[in-house]
């Protein structure tokens, strides 16, 4: 019996504990025996945008994963800049114990890995330009700006060219570079002190054409091949895109090893129109003013951003559909530069598929970000979000929306469905 | 979620969430037995409950009659668990639910030869329930469907400090001070059918309860003949809080009860109890409370069983009839309970009481409810 007692207690205790799992929810007697439902939902649509703007230049220079080549007269002229700021001075000669100095070059090519192409399109010609800026006597120059670089695309600075048929735009393209030009840079024969290659690639075609190559950020950097002799037994020197400037910021330098240059883009939108996408790509910034009586004192269950799309039939790819996506902006109030704030994009929300040539009221579901504004102070946590095109930086696709300065019927609005809070509970 | 002992010791003022919007009435709470302020378990020990509550006013382990604690000759600690399994039937459909309860905790200590003091915490009202229902609303041009779940988790506890004095060989007197403390967390979860456009909505509010009472009791015992227990509890203020704000004020219910025990049969106790609670004194807590009052009648027997654990097993049975205090309308909920149980001594220092209670409840609108309650009491004598 003494042995049974502890076992008995354990059995009773375990049985009691096991029986304590609750299953509370009962609805079979509703509504007779159930609580009255909470107050009905309310719905309101209002002009909630207190500030809006669209800013071009995204993704930021050097942050691209694709580099676009485009020749669309009057619409888009897209070029590619690549830097090879380290050049080999020696090569490994067959059966020689030591490296040999480079004193001659047989051939040089730059290989670009294709990411998107049209193998049914026209033949294209890729010209390579020397875009290295001689700053002697003129002081420091920001050699990533459009104006500074465009000035280098002159006929006397062409250092290589090749025509490719559409079928050749498959895996990659190899653009030949003048070997004497490269040798001059390796040996610094001109005494410029610039032992580097900075090349600008420009496409031309008999018809509008475009294709894209991978950027270094995509893991497929442009590659420079230097063959010293025609002897195939001698190893070819291989160099990857690399930038040594700005010397004071290695992170920026890494970004500008290769980057996009938009020589000409679509015309800007008219006033009171917010453009998403394009070339260079625009992002839209919207800042909201939502009444605290709704945001903080009610439970918002649905939030829809209503934007009226302005038809843009003259847009590149006007009939092509693509997505526009709203993003939460995660930068705080300390970031007052909107261009910079638009870099800090957090989670994305429901995206809308549309064609630039269409017109309609587009409804973006933004409940996730509106709920995060609850209980926050707008002076510390700006109530803002961004719009971004899915093809940003990879095409000139763009969509236009009316801004808050447009006529009332087409202004941006916010539709909120909410449940007024009631502190229920007394029987 | 299992309610634990710490709920019994919560402060009177509960934490509040969010704003000071108007407090609205809920109307009903999903089952017959949990309407209004909640379900009253009865503040009975397992032994008393399995005897139909018949010995409640004379039972030292039931915190009703403070004089009864004088029957304890050694210090005791006791806790009790009572999971309940319910089946609600309405309109031809049935739904099973279950709730776990820990309705009683006791610690008692004899002081010298004539005094006994006890601290106890017992559930006055259990406010644990949940409902799930469909809701459809037309908002603008949209018809919005959702499943709405409403959940309540809480209780009102009676924390008593009692003292009893043995006047002479047959008479004992007692007095008790009661503090009512409780908290109720209510959640409403709205899950929309259209999850793409609508986000899950959860709202939560917390109510606190606080109040007091005082009780007096007497117990007369004639060994091997009879015993009588008589108690009276006068309720003091009972308030409902949201944060620091008192949102409702009323009074705690009064209680009066008497138990008559016949001890003339060797090894047998036959008992009857009649009690009444003035639940209507709590009506001020909500203008929509439908309060009903009635007598609480219990019959029970305890027979000495075979030897077990150094003592004798107790064989118990009983029946109880009462009117539950709250319903959702003018028709009261009547309850009949039939019970049986065992008392199992585990040596000189411990005892387990276990039993089953089968309850039948009938109420308005043709609803009926049946329930099994497994009551288990663990007692140790340190």
pLDDT digits (tens, 9 = 90+) for B23-59: 344 445 678 888 888 999 999 999 999 999 999 999 9
Distance from CA of A79 to the nearest CA of B (A): 41
Q: DSSP assignment, residue B72?
A: -
Pairwise CA distance, residues A404 & A53, whole Å: 9
CB B17 within 8 A of CB A418: no
pTM, entire model: 0.75
* Helix or strand (DSSP H, E) at A385: strand A384-389
CB B239 within 8 A of CB B207: no
Under an 8 A CB cutoff, do B203 and A419 touch?
yes
**pLDDT attached to residue A7:** 65
Q: What is the mean pLDDT of residues B271-284?
A: 94
CA torsion sign, A386 to A391 to A397 to A399? negative
Q: What is the dihedral of CA A228, A229, A232, A234, to 10 degrees?
A: -50
B18 vs A36: which has the higher pLDDT: A36
- pLDDT of B316-341, one tens digit each? 999 999 999 998 888 899 999 999 99
**pLDDT attached to residue B21:** 31
Q: Which of B1, B352, B367 sits opposite A29 (nearest CB)?
A: B367
Pairwise CA distance, residues B34 & B32, whole Å: 6
Phi, psi values for residue A369, rounded to 5°: -80, -35
Query: What is the count of residue pairs from A and B with beta carbons less than 8 Å apart?
Result: 224
Is the per-residue pLDDT at B3 higher than 60?
Answer: no
CB A223 within 8 A of CB A208: no
- Please report which residue ranges of A168-305 form alpha helices under DSSP H: 179-187, 250-255, 292-295
Q: What is the mean pLDDT of residues B57-71?
A: 97
**pLDDT attached to residue B4:** 41
Q: Which of B20, B190, B199 sits opposite A367 (nearest CB)?
A: B199
Under an 8 A CB cutoff, do B376 and A16 touch?
yes
Phi, psi values for residue A171, rounded to 5°: -85, -45
Is the per-residue pLDDT at B373 higher than 80?
Answer: yes
Q: Which of B151, B326, B367 sits opposite A24 (nearest CB)?
A: B151
Q: Which residues of B touch A420 (CB under 8 A)?
A: 21
A315 vs B185: which has the higher pLDDT: B185
Q: Which of A16, A30, A417 sits opposite B139 (nearest CB)?
A: A417
Pairwise CA distance, residues B201 & B187, whole Å: 10
Residue in chain B lying closest to A31 (CA): B133
Q: Which residues of B touch A350 (CB under 8 A)?
A: 196
CB B63 within 8 A of CB B106: yes
How would DSSP label each residue in A256-274?
Answer: TTEEEEEEE-PPPPPTTEE
Under an 8 A CB cutoff, do A34 and B129 touch?
no
**pLDDT attached to residue A107:** 93
Is the per-residue pLDDT at B12 higher than 60?
Answer: no
Q: Which of A5, A23, A365 sits opposite B346 (nearest CB)?
A: A5
Distance from CA of A421 to the nearest CA of B (A): 7
Q: Which residues of A touch B364 (CB under 8 A)?
A: 32
- pLDDT of A334-360, one tens digit each? 888 999 999 999 999 989 999 999 999
- pLDDT of B232-253, one tens digit each? 999 999 999 988 889 899 999 9
**pLDDT attached to residue A229:** 79
Pairwise CA distance, residues B188 & B201, whole Å: 8
Distance from CA of A33 to the nearest CA of B (A): 5
CA torsion sign, A349 to A351 to A356 to A357? negative
**pLDDT attached to residue B7:** 44
Please check whether residue A423 touches B, CB under 8 A: yes
Q: Which residues of B touch A423 (CB under 8 A)?
A: 18-24, 205, 242
Distance from CA of B47 to the nearest CA of A (A): 16
**pLDDT attached to residue A329:** 94
- Could you tell me the pLDDT band of residue B15, with boundaries at 50, 70 and 90? very low
Distance from CA of B49 to the nearest CA of A (A): 17
Task: Flag residues of chain A having pLDDT under 50.
Answer: none
CB B89 within 8 A of CB B256: no
């Amino acid at each position: 019996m003494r042995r049974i007692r502890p076992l008995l207690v354990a059995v009773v205790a375990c049985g009691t504990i096991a029986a304590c799992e609750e299953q509370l929810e009962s609805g079979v007697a509703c509504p007779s025996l159930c609580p009255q439902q909470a107050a009905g939902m309310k719905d309101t649509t209002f002009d909630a945008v207190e500030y809006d703007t669209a800013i071009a230049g995204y993704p930021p220079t050097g942050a691209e994963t694709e580099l676009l080549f485009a020749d669309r007269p009057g619409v888009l002229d897209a070029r590619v800049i690549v830097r090879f700021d380290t050049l080999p001075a020696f090569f490994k000669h067959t059966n020689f114990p030591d490296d040999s100095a480079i004193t001659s070059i047989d051939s040089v090519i730059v290989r670009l890995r294709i990411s998107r192409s049209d193998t049914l399109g026209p033949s294209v010609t890729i010209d390579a330009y020397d875009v290295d800026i001689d700053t002697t006597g003129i002081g420091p120059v920001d050699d990533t700006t459009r104006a500074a670089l465009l000035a280098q695309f002159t006929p006397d600075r062409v250092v290589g060219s090749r025509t490719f048929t559409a079928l050749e735009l498959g895996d990659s393209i190899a653009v030949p570079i003048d070997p004497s030009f490269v040798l001059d840079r390796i040996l610094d024969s001109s005494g410029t002190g610039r032992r580097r290659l900075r090349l600008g690639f420009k496409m031309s075609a008999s018809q509008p054409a475009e294709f894209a190559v991978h950027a270094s950020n995509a893991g497929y950097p442009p590659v420079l091949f230097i063959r010293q002799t025609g002897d195939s037994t001698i190893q070819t020197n291989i160099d990857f895109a690399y930038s040594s400037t700005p010397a004071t910021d290695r992170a920026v330098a890494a970004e500008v090893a290769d980057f996009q240059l938009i020589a000409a883009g679509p015309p800007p939108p008219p006033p009171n129109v917010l453009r998403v996408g394009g070339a260079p790509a625009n992002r839209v910034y919207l800042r909201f003013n939502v009444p605290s009586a709704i945001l903080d004192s009610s439970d918002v269950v649905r939030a829809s951003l209503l934007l009226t799309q302005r038809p843009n039939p003259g847009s590149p790819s006007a009939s092509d559909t693509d997505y526009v996506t709203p993003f939460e902006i995660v930068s705080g109030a300390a970031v007052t530069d909107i261009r910079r704030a638009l870099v800090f994009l957090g989670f994305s929300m429901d995206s809308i598929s549309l064609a630039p040539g269409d017109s309609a009221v587009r409804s973006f579901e933004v409940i996730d970000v509106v709920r995060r504004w609850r209980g926050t102070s707008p002076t510390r946590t700006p109530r803002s979000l961004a719009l971004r095109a899915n093809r940003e930086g990879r095409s000139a696709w763009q969509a236009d929306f009316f801004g808050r300065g447009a006529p009332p019927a087409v202004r941006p609005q916010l539709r909120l469905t909410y449940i007024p809070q009631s502190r229920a509970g007394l029987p | 979620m299992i309610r634990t002992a710490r709920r019994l010791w919560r402060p009177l003022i509960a934490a509040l969430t969010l704003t000071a919007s108007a407090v609205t009435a809920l109307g009903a709470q999903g089952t017959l037995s949990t309407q209004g302020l909640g379900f009253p378990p009865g503040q009975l020990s397992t032994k008393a409950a399995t005897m139909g509550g018949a010995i409640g006013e004379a039972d030292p382990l039931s915190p009703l009659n403070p004089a009864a604690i004088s029957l304890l000759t050694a210090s005791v600690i006791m806790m009790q668990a009572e999971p309940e399994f319910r089946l609600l039937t309405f309109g031809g459909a049935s739904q099973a639910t279950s709730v776990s309860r820990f309705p009683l905790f006791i610690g008692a200590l004899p002081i010298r030869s004539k005094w006994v003091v006890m601290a106890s915490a017992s559930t006055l009202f259990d406010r644990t329930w949940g409902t799930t229902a469909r809701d459809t609303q037309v908002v603008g041009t949209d018809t919005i469907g959702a499943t709405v779940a409403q959940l309540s988790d809480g209780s009102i506890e009676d924390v008593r400090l009692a003292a009893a004095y043995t006047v002479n060989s047959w008479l004992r007197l007692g007095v008790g001070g009661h503090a009512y403390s409780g908290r109720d967390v209510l959640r409403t979860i709205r899950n929309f059918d259209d999850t793409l456009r609508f986000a899950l909505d959860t709202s939560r509010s917390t109510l606190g309860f606080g109040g007091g009472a005082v009780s007096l009791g007497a117990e007369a015992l004639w060994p091997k003949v009879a015993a009588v227990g008589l108690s009276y509890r006068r309720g003091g203020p009972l308030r409902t809080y949201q944060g620091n704000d008192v949102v409702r004020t009323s009074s705690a219910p009064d209680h009066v009860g008497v138990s008559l025990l016949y001890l003339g049969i060797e090894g047998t106790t036959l008992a009857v109890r009649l009690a009444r609670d003035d639940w209507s004194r709590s009506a001020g807590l909500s203008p929509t409370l439908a309060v009903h009052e009635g007598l609480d009648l219990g019959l029970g027997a305890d027979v000495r069983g075979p030897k077990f654990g150094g003592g004798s097993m107790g064989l118990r049975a009983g029946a109880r009839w009462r009117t539950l205090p709250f319903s959702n309308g003018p028709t009261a909920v009547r309850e009949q309970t039939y019970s049986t149980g065992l008392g199992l001594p585990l040596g000189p220092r411990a005892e387990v009481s276990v039993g089953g209670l089968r309850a039948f409840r009938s109420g308005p609108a043709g609803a009926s409810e049946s329930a099994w309650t497994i009551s288990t009491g663990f007692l140790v004598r340190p």
